[in-house]
Amino acid sequence: MNALGVVSRRLCAGVAGRVSGWSAHSLRPFAGITVSQIDEEVAKLLELKAQLGGDEGKHQFTLKTAKGTRDYNPKQMAIREKVFNTIIGCFKRHGAETIDTPVFELKVNDRRILDGMFAVCGVPDDKFRTICSTVDKLDKMSWEDVRSEMVKEKGLSEEAADQIGQYVSMQGGKDLAERLLQDAKMSQSKQACAGLTDMKLLFSYLELFQVTDKVVFDLSLARGLDYYTGVIYEAILTQNGPAPEAGEKGEEGVSVGSVAGGGRYDGLVGMFDPKGRKVPCVGVSIGIERVFSILEQKAEASAEKVRTTETQVMVASAQKNLLEERLKLTAELWNAGIKAEVMYKKNPKLLSQLQHCEDSGIPLVAILGEQELKDGVVKLRDVHSREEADVLRAELVEEIKKRIADV
């Protein structure tokens, strides 16, 4: 309604203002319209203008961001586009198909290993889920605080809590799974042994993919949701550069929290099947806003320019009165499939054009001058190194494509 009000006010004020500048009687009547009818309509517009308060600027209209939304500046949008392209590219590389689903939110563990561990440590069956949710807090709380909650708030015995503490401090890979299969207590649980056997198999596959250095088998990982039935995982970002958010550790190499998580759930989808059939599933959700926040902090802390456009070359001029030549060269580059940009001022200063490239992250500048036009060349400048070279006009497209392929 505010937008409509603004338009109506401008329309009425504009029309009434124009009409009030000369007599309506000097108008020739349109076909079927009398002068008196025109006078009547003009009077209505003038009356409406008076009601709106004229052009004194008394009415102020403030544009506000819609509730529950936010605006992103070009730098933030460039970061978001890069993140989404990376995620989408990774999923497509592994054969994923696109679906649209909301996101509610790598360490690796297995729910069966957790349940088996709780059983051999003496946790009563009716306390499995509540103790699991407490263990899940280990990435935010110290072991002492977690132990205190299990004993004082959840009613677990101190002996059982201490045994859990011995296990949840363990991290490793395939070797840890093999060691736990030989553990005197864990080997007593069929559930734990099934999970550990699958964990060994998982790390065998990870070895083939050559990514074992990026995955850790961590017995403290719990993922408190009840529907997980097998492997569970979380992607943990380690601090390296930008300052972490409030309440997080900031030393280099220290974890700053989970940015993705998921696991296997064999029974969840079947709950919606009339026949109750099991549908094994594995899913992951990505904390995309957290990723954005971290990358924005990193960009602010580093000297690296965040590109907000995809422009590959700026067409600039070194002297005055070369606007038409710049436009002509820009068109040539566009027709060759090169993303080119030009300042539309008639005589922009060369320094301003170069500074625009620095600020926007445009990698190349094609500079035209009177001498270059006479010689049939274009001066091609690398914005980063500031090196310049004369390139024949006929060879410019090929040279630019060669250079942007290396960027």
227 is in an annotated binding site: yes
333: its two tokens: 């580059």
Instruction: Give the amino acid at 13.
Output: A
Neighbours of 200 (CB within 10 A): 17
- The partner residues of 216 in beta bridges, in order of sequence, read 107
Tokens 């363990």 identify what position?
Answer: 170
> Residue 389 is inside which H or E element, if any?
strand 388-392
- How many angstroms separate the CA atoms of 129 and 150, rounded? 12
- How many angstroms separate the CA atoms of 14 and 268, rounded? 63
Query: Does residue 70 sit in helix, strand or coil?
Result: coil
Sequence-distant (6+) residues with CB within 8 A of 400 are: 312, 313, 333, 338, 364, 366, 380
- How many angstroms separate the CA atoms of 214 and 206, rounded? 9
> Residue 2 is inside which H or E element, if any?
helix 2-20
228 is in an annotated binding site: yes
Annotated binding site: 223, 227-228
Annotated binding site for L-histidine: 223, 227-228
